[in-house]
Structure 1
Amino acid sequence: MGKTLDNVYKHQSLAYKYFLYLITVGLIVFFFPKGGKFKYEFQKGKPWQYENLYAPIDFSIKKTQEEIASERQSLRDNKTDYYTYDETIVSDVRQEVRDELIKLFSSTSYPQRQQTALLEVASKAVDSIYGNGIFQDSPAASSILLIKNNEARPLARGGYLSIQQAKERISRILPSLSPSEGRNLAGTVQRLLKANTFYDEALTERALADELSKISFTRGEVSEGRLIIAKGEVVEAENFKILDSLKEEYESELWRGNNYYFILLGYTILVALVLIMLFLFLKRYRSEIFKNNNKVTFIFVNILLMVLATTLMVKNNESYVFVVPLCILPLVLKNFFDARLGLFVHVLTVLILGFVVPNSFEYIFLQTIAGIVTILTASELYKRANLFISVGQITLIYIIGYFAFHAIHEGNLENIEWILFGIFVLNGLLTLFAQPLIYIYEKIFGLVSDVSLLELSDTNSKLLKELSDKAPGTFHHSLQVANLAEAAANEIGANAMMVRVGALYHDIGKMENPTFFTENQITNVNPHDDLPPRESAKIIIDHVIKGIEIARKNNLPDRIIDFLRTHHGTTLVFYFYKKQQELEETVDEKNFRYPGPIPFSRETAILMMADAVEAASKSLKNPTFMIIDEFVEKIVKGQMQANQFLNANITLKEMEQVKKVLKQKLTNIYHLRVEYPE
């Protein structure tokens, strides 16, 4: 059993992919239209252009969704509220009244017969008040059923009392019998009255659910052979509903009997084959994405959304199938991943939709060409003009493609459906929705786009302005690190924008105690001189934790927070560790190590190298080419020996390229020139 659980745990990521695959296949097949196509076209208010239509089969006239919703709302508005009557409370109140009156009589000189009479009067008054029960508040519903003695009986409006009304009635009943005794009697009874009728929500909801379940979704039958509509007759409201019901019945006829299972099996196999191709592509060419279930889920969700939108359009009005902005798919995927993946997923999605759209060859051809144009033209979407230019080119491709197909089919340019041009323009306008959609995806899936990175890289942003005000030295250091890291990332093909943003924010935790970091000390006073090394090390180490807290408070993306967490890895605060060793022989290294984790990507590894090199370069005096070369090699070698890059997917060749860039940049920073011979 234990081994089985271990295997399940080890392969849970793969199991999730299998589950996602099966769910996606099932949903896509479920979305597909189930049936053939109705051979008649009709519109409300237009004449019936075909021969007289007789009912080919018996079928029901279906109610519209609006009619069903109206009936449901009417039942909810006029539902009956159920109240339960609690006899125990009545008995308790009756007994309490009797006890209180006996106690009251014990301090008076009433004769026994008078006491008995008053007790009887009070008891009858209580019984009359509790006849239909006392409600805490007056019920709002017009229809009420009271459950008393396991029987439900209706209460007319005004046939019940609230607690306040019951007290008023007592004050009217009792004083009329004997003014002096009645007032004492009324006050006692009023004080002891309690509500004993309570709203039964569960029973009310069950009764409402039962009524809702009885709603019929049809409103009549049409027998086989009956004339539905005659040639030339205008399709009016009633005829339209009958024709619509016949169309729905006809389109579902193909899915009845054994045909249903064969059609379902065929769809399932074809869709499964297409999605297997996607998995194979990801596993072979995009292993990083394949290992990340969040990203795989993101890709499949986008495919599902496009399939759902298109199939809904086909079911409602297939003439407007090109309204669905399918090119949003490659736009979004290219923005978050790369162009090749975006095009591959787009083509696979188009192949899936080819099963359900009319004129599938034309559809697949146009959508594939449009997807290729999208990939080739859409770049740097954070520049507003680029998206508009790309959308304009996509729209133009649709229009040119339509002209070409029309010329092939008709042999001329007559009878062009000009409304399709409006549909293509609308498609382009909807494609512009890719920009806000990217923002929504960022929030849902925790992804980061170039648009967000560009916004975060603005040094006038609130957080970076705060850093420059509170810790100007750290801000300058972050700018230098950002320049070094960005250049190194460009050299090895890593995400340069991501590295730059991570570098700008990696030390924001130093804002909490800026003067404890040397780059922010403007005098010779060092606050660490007054602290033991262990406390100094804690302050230095804590800037990572505090930085993460500040980042989360300011809603920085998790991808950027990763740079804060990993830029020191699990390295040692060596200076204060050595100082502590001077004070005591045995020193626990844990108190002088950063919490980690170590870098787990090329980008975070680049930042660790650039940060260490830039910070340590401040200690260089009279640097030369040789000194800078040895200096960079020493720092990176130390990080490698500390096993800081074990989890980062960066090769030795890429690390050599990074070191080369760092050396060149430091040389430029210190304005070193070639030493000419004398």
Structure 2
Amino acid sequence: MGKTLDNVYKYQSLAYKYFLYFVSVALIVFFFPKGGKFKYEFQKGKPWQYDNLYAPIDFSIKKTDGEIAEEQLSLRNNKTDYYAFDATIFSDVTSGFEEDFRTVFPSGQYSEGQQRRLSDLGSAVLDSIYVLGIVQNLPVSNSINLVKNNEAISITPGNFVDLVKAKARVTSILSMGNRDVNQRLEALIQRSLRTNVFYDEALTDRALEEELSRISYTRGEVSEGTLIIAKGEVVEAENFKILNSLKEEYESELWRGTNYYFIILGYTILVALVLVMLFLFLKRYRYEIFQNNNKVTFIFFNILLMVLATTLMVKNNEDYVYVVPLCILPLVLKNFFDARLGLFVHVLTVLILGFVVPNSFEYIFLQTIAGIVTILTASELYKRANLFISVGQITFIYIVGYFAFHAIHEGNLENIEWILFGIFVLNGLLTLFAQPLIYIYEKIFGLISDVSLLELSDTNSKLLKELSDKAPGTFHHSLQVANLAEAAANEIRANAMLVRVGALYHDIGKMEKPTFFTENQITNVNPHDDLPPRESAKIIIDHVIRGIEIARKNKIPDRVIDFIRTHHGTTTVYYFFKKQQEMDAEVDEKDFKYPGPIPFSKETAILMMADAVEAASKSLKNPTFTVIDQFVEKIVKGQMQANQFLNANITLKEIEMVKKVLKHKLTNIYHLRVEYPE
């Protein structure tokens, strides 16, 4: 049972990677749009590179979005306006006229015949005006239907009258005859007039919607077996529309029935191959990252995030696919790891997205070039100007690339979709979100960026101020080591900021017993004189363990703690070892060795060399160029003979470059000048 548990614990890291791999493949395939993939790639203005293409099925030629939008606009501009005729208002007007008529033309002043004649004249005038009714507002449309008695009658706009025109018509009709009588009748009729024709917005909109719904989204049919395009023929505008129609029909038909399972299988295999390449790259070239499940999870999380964002955009509106700031991926990965890994992951992600985006070749080309530009230009992101410069260059690449593809497709610079420039600018603005995203990732995944390193390098931080107060000699030593190590890292193009921070914190364990370390002894009293060598060695060695504990308590990132662990590697506390040997010939050297591990990166190897050289340089009494040269050579040679750099990916050439920098810096520290002959 115990052996089984040992095997479980031994392989749990590998099992987690398998789990992460299969879950990632499943999620990516799940994110993909549900549709087949047309097996031919084609672009407008380029020759058809395949054999003659005959229609494999009957399909309709679909109109473009622009053509449909133009038809819809035409219908809206030429829509028919509907007006409702209210018959009850005419009845009220007639009744009101008859009641007021007796008051205006009383029987005592007018004979019965005159009253009948005037009443009939007034009724006739009203009837003539209310044939079509009086409209509330004169229409501006050229096509009008009047709904009267549940029947729509087409009316010429000029036949409509409003109240002003209706009153003018009454005046015109009654202009002949007895002036006094007609004026009274005219005033009576004009007082009685009311609008009874109103614009019916609901009916107008409903009629327009019906017209719009009858728009055909196709403009012709292609029968099975019809030649669509011949080999070598240039894909022109008409052929391009037919090919796009076939592509849409083919992809929708392909996803039906049992084809569904084969398409899923195909997508799964391709995505699985891409992610296998990522695992192989990590195992072969970034084994330290491969062993760290947290970092592997971080990489896969970012891939999934970009795939999800892009596929959601494709499903909702593929015209805005370039809004997704894909260049955040290499920016983030370069910031936490290195440029090569960032570019490799970016290219793999673009290959995955090439399965689902429209114009996949164009998309893959632009995103790959943008990713390369990101890797080449984005450096020292803790400097805000650098991020803005990098984003500007990325946006510029997108715009130039679009110009180039448009020129190839159209053969001119006409019909440029200017909205795409806004999309590219928006992409650049969203890329600026990389900075807060890096901070969020640091908190979630426990990683460290250059921005955090810059904050940690502040000597006014709580921990470094405590070191300065409790162990001023150690603090000064750490500053000197930081300067030496940073210069050496710059020389061999290692992470200079990381080395500097590691150097500042590498000896914080000495705060607990500062007087046991020579740099903090301000008197001639040495506490080691009263201790046996073995106990003295233990106090010296323990500063590494204490340093790790203090760093973790103060939430110092693991990448910085690595420098505390490795800055002495597995070297021997030689002074006390020799002192113990003088007292006891049989001494176990292991009791006088640091626990390790030995340095496992260029940065930790540089710190080991700089720390040893700076500490030992205090013993130089009369330093000269020759003495310093031999001194540095001796110390680094001893570390190499002790196999301290076996796990560090640092070459002999780089070690020589580091030694050269250390010699130069020590020469400057001791202010050595050329010795002139007397």
Scaled by the length of structure 1, the TM-score of the pair is 0.63
**Residues 535/376 of structure 1: CA separation in 2 closer, same or farther (3 Å cut):** closer
Q: 1:671: which partner in 2? A: 671
Q: Is the 8 A contact 2:36 2:263 kept in 1?
A: no
Q: Give SS of 1:232's match.
A: helix
- Per-residue CA deviations over 1:62-112 (Å, capped at 9, x if unaligned) read xxxxxxxxxxxxxxxxxxxxxxxxxxxxxxxxxxxxxxxxxxxxxxxxxxx
- Give matches, 1:581-600, under 5 Å: 581=581, 587=587, 589-600=589-600
In the alignment, what sits opposite 1:551?
Answer: 551
Aligned residue in 2 for 1:304: 304
Deviation at 1:272, TM superposition (A): 3.1
Stretches of structure 1 that go unaligned for 5 or more consecutive residues are 51-228, 236-249
In the TM superposition, what is the alpha-carbon distance from 1:345 to its structure 2 partner? 2.5
Gap regions ≥5 residues in structure 2: 38-59, 74-208, 216-249
Aligned partner of 1:356: which letter? V
CA distance in structure 1 between the partners assigned to 2:543 and 2:2 by the alignment = 42
Structure 1 partner of 2:212: 232
Contact 1:34 1:251 in 2 (8 A): no
Residues 403-414 of structure 1 aligned to structure 2 (within 5 Å): 403-406=403-406, 409=409
Q: 1:624, 1:672 within 8 Å by CA — same for their partners in 2?
A: yes
**Which residue of the partner structure matches residue 372 of structure 1?**
372
CA contact (8 A) 2:387 2:432 kept: yes
Cross-structure match for 2:459: 459
Shift of 1:497: 2.2
If you compute each CA radius of gyration, which structure gives the higher value, 1 or 2?
2
Distance 1:446 1:528, change over 3 A: same
| CA positional deviation for 1:603 | 1.9
- How many aligned positions are there? 485
Paired letter, 1:516: F
Query: 2-side partners of 1:376 and 1:669: how far apart?
Result: 36
Relative to 1, partners in 2 of residues 1:41 and 1:659: Cα closer, same or farther, differing over 3 Å? same
Match of 1:526 in 2: 526
Q: Distance in 1 between matches of 2:633 and 2:401?
A: 58
Q: What do residues 546-571 of structure 1 show as CA deviations (whole Å, max 9, x unaligned)?
A: 21122112211101101101112233
Matches within 5 A, 1:641-656: 641-656=641-656
Q: How does 1:103-252 map to 2 (within 5 A)?
A: 230-232=210-212
In 2: Cα distance, 1:660 partner to 1:471 partner: 30
Q: Distance in 1 between matches of 2:253 and 2:469?
A: 73
Report the CA distance between 1:291 and its aligned residue: 5.5
User: How much has 1:325 moved relative to structure 2?
Assistant: 0.6
Please name the residue that 1:493 is paired with.
493
Q: Is residue 574 from structure 1 mapped to residue 574 from structure 2 by the alignment?
A: yes
Residues 25-76 of structure 1: CA deviation (Å, up to 9, x unaligned): 222112101136998999xxx99959xxxxxxxxxxxxxxxxxxxxxxxxxx
**Is 1:660 paired with 2:640?**
no
Secondary structure at the counterpart of residue 510 of structure 1: helix
Change in 2 beyond 3 A, CA 1:492/1:315 = same
- Greater alpha carbon shift after TM alignment, 546-555 vs 668-677: 668-677
User: Structure 2 CA distance, aligned partners of 1:579 and 1:273?
Assistant: 61
| CA displacement 1:267-325 (0-9 Å, x = unmatched) | 22332343344445555555555555544443332222111111112222323222211
Distance, in Å, in 2 between the alignment partners of 1:604 and 1:343 is 25
**What residue in structure 2 maps to residue 540 of structure 1?**
540
Structure 1 residues 102-153: Cα deviation after superposition (integer angstroms, max 9, x where no partner): xxxxxxxxxxxxxxxxxxxxxxxxxxxxxxxxxxxxxxxxxxxxxxxxxxxx
Pairs within 5 Å for 1:13-32: 17-32=17-32
Q: What is the deviation of 1:385?
A: 0.7
Q: 2:35 aligns to what SS in structure 1?
A: coil
Residue 638 of structure 1 is matched in structure 2 by: 638
Query: Matches of residues 254-403 of structure 1 in structure 2 within 5 Å?
Result: 255-282=255-282, 286=286, 289-290=289-290, 292-403=292-403
Greater shift after overlay, 450-459 or 303-312? Answer: 450-459
Aligned to 1:565: 565
Secondary structure at 2:347 match in 1: helix
What TM-score, normalized to structure 2? 0.63
User: Do the aligned residues in 2 keep the contact of 1:399 with 1:421 (CA within 8 Å)?
Assistant: yes
Corresponding residue for 2:510?
510
Asked if the contact 2:570–2:595 (Cα under 8 Å) also holds between the matched residues in 1, the reply is: yes
Query: Within 2, Cα distance between the matches of 1:505 and 1:2?
Result: 41
Residue in 1 that maps onto 2:601? 601
Structure 1 residue 543: Cα displacement: 1.6
Measured after TM superposition, the shift of residue 606 of structure 1 is 2.0
Comparing 268-277 and 14-23, the one that deviates more: 14-23
Q: 1:233 to 1:254 in 2, by over 3 A?
A: same
Distance 1:373 1:598, change over 3 A: closer
State the Cα distance separating 1:442 from its structure 2 match. 2.9
Q: What letter matches 2:441 in structure 1?
A: Y
Alignment-derived partner of residue 441 in structure 1: 441
State the alpha-carbon separation in 2 of the partners of residues 444 and 571 from structure 1. 36
Could you give the per-residue CA deviations for residues 4-45 of structure 1, whole angstroms, max 9, x where no partner exists?
Answer: 999988777666555544433222112101136998999xxx
Query: How far is the alpha carbon of 1:434 from its aligned partner?
Result: 0.7
Paired residues of 2:329 and 2:346 also in contact (CA < 8 A): yes
Deviation at 1:356, TM superposition (A): 1.2
Structure 1 residues 419-475: Cα deviation after superposition (integer angstroms, max 9, x where no partner)? 433332222121111112222333344433222222222223222222222222111
Determine the structure 1 residue equivalent to 2:188.
none
Tell me the alpha carbon deviations over residues 327-375 of structure 1, each in whole angstroms, 9 at most, x when there is no partner.
1112122223333433333233222212212233332333233223322
In structure 2, the CA distance between the partners of 1:387 and 1:653, relative to structure 1 (3 Å rule), is closer
